[in-house]
Amino acid sequence: MPIIRVALCVPVDTLFDYQAEDASQHDIGLRACVPFGKKQVTGIILAVSDETQIPIEKLKSAHGIFREIKPLPAALLDLFHFCSQYYHHPLGMVILNGLPVKLRNKKPVSLKRKPHQYQYSLTSSGKNVALTQIPARNRIARRLLSEFQQTETLTSLQIKHISPRAEKLLQDWIQLGWITAEFCLTATAVRVAEIPVLTAEQEIAVNAITADAKRFNTWLLHGVTGSGKTEVYLRIIESVLAQGRQVLVLIPEISLTPQLEGVFRARFSTVPLVSLHSGLNDTERLAGWLQAQRGEAKIILGTRLAVFTPISDLGVIIVDEEQDSSFKQQDGLRYSARDLAIFRARQSAIPVILGSATPSLESYHNALTGRYRHVRLLSRAVQNATLPLIQCIDTRINKTREGLSGPLIQALDQCLQKEHQSLIFINRRGYAPVLLCKSCGWTAPCQRCSSRLVVHLRDKKLCCHHCGHQELFPRACPQCGNQDIAPFGQGTQRVEETLTAHFPAARILRIDRDSTRRKHAWQEILHAVHTHQVDILIGTQLLAKGHDFPNLSLVGILNADGALYSTDFRASERLFAQLMQVAGRAGRANVAGHVLIQTEFPDHPLYQSLQRHDYDALAKTLLAERKMAGFPPYVYQALLRAEAHHIKTVLDFLAQAAQLARPPQAVELFDPVPAHMSRLKGLERAHLLVQSSSRKHLHAFLTGWYAKITALPSQKVRWVLDVDPLEF
C-alpha cells in the first residue's frame, strides 16, 4: 500500500509517514488529513513512496487526501524547502504557516465563487456535439448545450438561471473539451489613468529591464523620491502582462495597498488583481490565494507573506521600498521577504526589481560590486518639480517650547497663509513621551518589559507599546511623593495640542496606530489630505512611507537626534532612509518643498548628506565604517535568541549552546548578551551572535549546531535562530 510522507505544523524537522491506499505521485503538494497523537491534523504531502522506516504495526492510515484544489506547485515547495534550510526552521511549520488559514483546516475548502466571475465559451468540438449524444433524461444538460449552441458564450449567472445544478456539469464539459472557461472581472467603474510620457531616465530604466526580461537578474531601481519609480514598475508590468504572465508586487506596509491598488486598477482596468495582506479575513485571503494559483489573478499585490503565494506563470517580481525592515518577519520564522523574492526570481529565471530612494546598505553594496544591476533615477519626474530644500534648525540657539522652535512655528504660519499643507514628523524610535518626576527623575516603567510606559494624554493613560499593558496616571510620584509629575518628550498628542493653541483656525490631523486601526481609515485619511481638508498633518513612521501628498510643501522633523548616537549599528542607515523618505513627501507636484530638521547637531555628517540629498556620500561613509568594524554587509550574521522567565535560565541555556558549538575558524562566536529589549512581555531575553565573512561557512556551521541545540534536553527556554538579524 502506498505511503504518504506528510509535513505537519509541529516543531520537529521530520516528515510523518501514513498509509493511504488511493495515493499516487500526483498527490505531492496536496493536503492530507492525518491522525497525530490523539488529534487529527492537516499537513502537506511531500512524497509518495512504497517504503517506510516505520514498523508496519505502528503505521497509521491517513484519514483522507483533499483534492478539491490543485496541489502546491513544485516551485513553491522548493521555496519552502529553501526557506526551511536557510532560516533553520522546521519545514512543516514553514509550509503550514505560509498557507492561508483555511487550508490548514481539517476539512476541504468550499469553493463558492461569486456569480459573474466566469464566462464559458463553446469550443469548435463543442459545436459538433449533437444534442442526441446526451441521454434524453438529462434534461438540464440538454438545455444547457442547446443554450450554448445558440449563444456560444454564457456567464456563470446565466447558467445559474438555467438551473442551479447546471454549473456542476461544466467541469466535465471542460474536461471533454466542449467548452472553455475564462475568468472575467466584475465590471467595476474605474477611472482610467492618463499615461505620462516617460522621462529620459525612466525610459532608460524601462528599456534596460524589459530588454533583459527573459532571465534572472536582481535590479536595484535606485531613484530619488518623486522620480517616478511607480511609472517604471507600471511599464514593466505592462510588458509582462502583454506576454500573458503574472506579476508579484511586494510592499512593506498594508497602509500602502489602497494607494497602489488604485494606481494599478486605473492603469490596468481590465486586468484581474488581488491584494494579499493581513487586513483580509480568512475567506478573502483564501480567495485571493486561489485566484493567484489558478492563474486568474494577473497582478498579485501584497505584504511580506505574499511572497509564499503560488503563482503559476510569474514574469517579474517587484519589491517596493526594499530597505524597509517590515519585509523581515520579527517572530517565529524570521524570514526576509525581499531575500526570498530574490530566490524566487532566480528559481523562475525572471527579473526581480528592488526599488528604493535609499537602498539598504546590503543592496547598495551588491549594486556597487556588480552583483545587482544598478539603474538610477536622479531627478524628479514631474516637470519643474525639484527636490525639497532641507535645512537644520539649531535648537541650541533656537530653544524649543513644548518641542517646537520659533523658526518652525513661523514656517508653519507662512505655509498656512499660502494655503499649503504641512507635516510634522515625530521620530518615535525610543523617543515616545514618558511620565517624568522632575524632582527625583522617576519615570513610569512597564512591569513586564524593560521599557518605559508611553503617555497617552487624551485618556490619561500610560501604555506599554511592547506588551499592551495599560494603567492610569499615578497622582503622585511613587518614588518620592512629588505631585508635580508631567509628561516629558513629544508625542503626537502633545504636539497636536500645542499646534492647536498656536493655530486655532488650522485643520490639524494626527495620524498614529490608533487612528489608522479601523478598516478603511487610511483611505479616509488619504482622501481628506488629497481633497485639502487638512492643513497640518502630525505623525510618526507611518507617514514616512511612500504616500503621495501633492499639496504638501513643508515638513518639520522633531526628535531625530536620538538615532545619531545609538548603539545599534543600523540606526544611522535607518534614520537617513526615514528622513529622506519624509523629506520626499514635500514638494511633489507644483509646490516647492521645504524641510526643517530641529537638531542639536546640525554639523553631523548625516544631516549634511541629507541637506545635499547625497545618499551616495553617506552610504559610502557608512559602508567604510562597517567594513572597519566588521559588520554586515561585510560579514554574515545569525543570532541564537532565547527567552525564559528567569535570566539565569536563559544565560545557562546560551552557555550550553555555546559549549556545543565548536565553530570552525572562519566562524566567530560571541558571548551571550542581554537583548536590547532585555525584558519583553514578562520574559527575560538574551542572545548569542555568530558571524562569518563566508555565508557558506556560516550556514554549514549553523546546520550542525542547530541539530545539536535541538537535541539538548528540553528546557524552559524558548529559542530561535535568527538568520540575517535586523534587530538585536
Q: Which residues bind ligand ADP (CB under 6 A)?
A: 196-199, 202, 223, 225-231, 381-382, 548, 588
Q: Which among 108-116, 420-428, 478-486, 691-699 is the span making contact with Zn ion, rule CB under 5 A?
A: 478-486
- Name the 3-class secondary structure at 456: strand
Q: Among ligand ADP, Zn ion, none, what does residue 446 contact (CB within 5–8 Å per kind)?
A: Zn ion
Q: Taking a C-beta distance cutoff of 8 angstroms, is the pair 594, 388 a contact?
A: yes
CB of 718 to Zn ion, least distance (A): 17
Residue 398 in the binding site for Zn ion (CB under 5 A): no
Between CA 83 and CA 86 the distance in angstroms is: 5
- Name the 3-class secondary structure at 391: strand
Residue 467 in the binding site for Zn ion (CB under 5 A): yes
Q: Select 65 or 224, whichever has its Cβ closest to ligand ADP.
A: 224
CB of 483 to Zn ion, least distance (A): 10
Residue 182: count of CB within 10 angstroms of its CB = 11
Q: Among ligand ADP, Zn ion, none, what does residue 487 contact (CB within 5–8 Å per kind)?
A: none
Strands (E), 149-302: 153-155, 179-183, 217-223, 246-250, 273-276, 299-302
Q: Select 537 or 690, whichever has its Cβ closest to ligand ADP.
A: 537
CB of 214 to ligand ADP, least distance (A): 26
CB of 50 to ligand ADP, least distance (A): 55
Number of residues that bind Zn ion (CB under 5 A): 14
Q: Select 196 or 406, whichever has its Cβ closest to ligand ADP.
A: 196
Q: Select 48 or 467, whichever has its Cβ closest to Zn ion.
A: 467
- Kindly give, in sequence order, each residue whose CB lies less than 8 Å from that of residue 697, ignoring residues fewer than 6 positions away: 664, 666, 667
Q: Which among 238-246, 296-304, 475-483, 555-563 is the span making contact with Zn ion, rule CB under 5 A?
A: 475-483
Residue 49 in the binding site for Zn ion (CB under 5 A): no
Residue 464 in the binding site for Zn ion (CB under 5 A): yes
Q: Select 116 or 466, whichever has its Cβ closest to Zn ion.
A: 466
CB of 583 to ligand ADP, least distance (A): 11
Between CA 105 and CA 522 the distance in angstroms is: 32
**Range 525-529 contact pairs with CB under 8 angstroms and sequence separation of 24 or more:** 526/258, 526/259, 529/421
- Name the 3-class secondary structure at 701: helix
Q: Among ligand ADP, Zn ion, none, what does residue 341 contact (CB within 5–8 Å per kind)?
A: none
Between CA 650 and CA 118 the distance in angstroms is: 57
Q: Select 229 or 456, whichever has its Cβ closest to ligand ADP.
A: 229
CB of 226 to ligand ADP, least distance (A): 4
Instruction: Establish whether the linkage from the previous residue to 310 is cis, with ω within 30° of 0.
Output: no
CB of 677 to Zn ion, least distance (A): 9
Alpha helices (H) in 323-377, listed in sequence order: 337-348, 361-368
Of the residues 99, 154, 240, 437, which one makes contact with Zn ion according to CB under 5 A = 437
Residue 479 in the binding site for Zn ion (CB under 5 A): yes
Q: Among ligand ADP, Zn ion, none, what does residue 664 contact (CB within 5–8 Å per kind)?
A: none
**Cα 8 to Cα 12, 16, 459, 655, 718, distances in angstroms:** 9, 8, 46, 31, 20
Q: Select 277 or 452, whichever has its Cβ closest to Zn ion.
A: 452
Strands 179-183 and 351-356 come out as unpaired
- Name the 3-class secondary structure at 76: helix
Residue 79 in the binding site for Zn ion (CB under 5 A): no
Between CA 214 and CA 211 the distance in angstroms is: 8
Q: Select 465 or 530, whichever has its Cβ closest to Zn ion.
A: 465
Burial of 315 (0-12, 13-18, 19+ CB in 10 A): buried
**Which of these, 487, 78, 100, lies nearest to 287 by C-alpha position?**
100
Q: Taking a C-beta distance cutoff of 8 angstroms, is the pair 122, 153 a contact?
A: yes
Of the residues 159, 221, 387, 446, which one makes contact with Zn ion according to CB under 5 A = 446
49 HSE (CA, 13 A, CB side): 12
Residue 448 in the binding site for Zn ion (CB under 5 A): yes
Burial of 321 (0-12, 13-18, 19+ CB in 10 A): buried
Burial of 450 (0-12, 13-18, 19+ CB in 10 A): middle
Q: Among ligand ADP, Zn ion, none, what does residue 722 contact (CB within 5–8 Å per kind)?
A: none
Q: Select 43 or 252, whichever has its Cβ closest to ligand ADP.
A: 252
CB of 475 to Zn ion, least distance (A): 12
Q: Among ligand ADP, Zn ion, none, what does residue 223 contact (CB within 5–8 Å per kind)?
A: ligand ADP
Q: Among ligand ADP, Zn ion, none, what does residue 437 contact (CB within 5–8 Å per kind)?
A: Zn ion
Q: Among Zn ion, ligand ADP, none, what does residue 528 contact (CB within 5–8 Å per kind)?
A: none
Sheet holding 536-539, edge to edge: 389-394, 594-599, 552-558, 421-426, 536-539, 508-511
Residue numbers 110-169 binding Zn ion by CB under 5 A: none
Alpha helices (H) in 584-711, listed in sequence order: 605-611, 615-629, 647-661, 695-711
Strands 404-405 and 667-669 come out as unpaired
Determine the residue with CB nearest ligand ADP.
228
Residue 435 in the binding site for Zn ion (CB under 5 A): no
CB of 445 to ligand ADP, least distance (A): 40
Between CA 701 and CA 705 the distance in angstroms is: 6
Q: Select 205 or 462, whichever has its Cβ closest to Zn ion.
A: 462
Q: Which among 181-189, 278-286, 409-417, 461-469 is the span making contact with Zn ion, rule CB under 5 A?
A: 461-469
CB of 666 to Zn ion, least distance (A): 40
Q: Among ligand ADP, Zn ion, none, what does residue 382 contact (CB within 5–8 Å per kind)?
A: ligand ADP
Residue 442 in the binding site for Zn ion (CB under 5 A): yes
Residue 528: count of CB within 10 angstroms of its CB = 14
Q: Select 123 or 482, whichever has its Cβ closest to Zn ion.
A: 482
Q: Select 445 or 605, whichever has its Cβ closest to Zn ion.
A: 445
CB of 171 to ligand ADP, least distance (A): 43
Q: Select 27 or 320, whichever has its Cβ closest to ligand ADP.
A: 320
CB of 380 to ligand ADP, least distance (A): 7
Assigned C-alpha cell, 131: 444534442
Between CA 231 and CA 212 the distance in angstroms is: 18
**Cα 66 to Cα 23, 30, 33, 104, distances in angstroms:** 11, 7, 8, 11
Q: Among Zn ion, ligand ADP, none, what does residue 24 contact (CB within 5–8 Å per kind)?
A: none
Q: Among Zn ion, ligand ADP, none, what does residue 480 contact (CB within 5–8 Å per kind)?
A: Zn ion
Residue 674: count of CB within 10 angstroms of its CB = 15
CB of 523 to Zn ion, least distance (A): 32
Q: Which residues bind Zn ion (CB under 5 A)?
A: 437, 440, 442, 446, 448-449, 464, 466-467, 469, 477, 479-480, 482
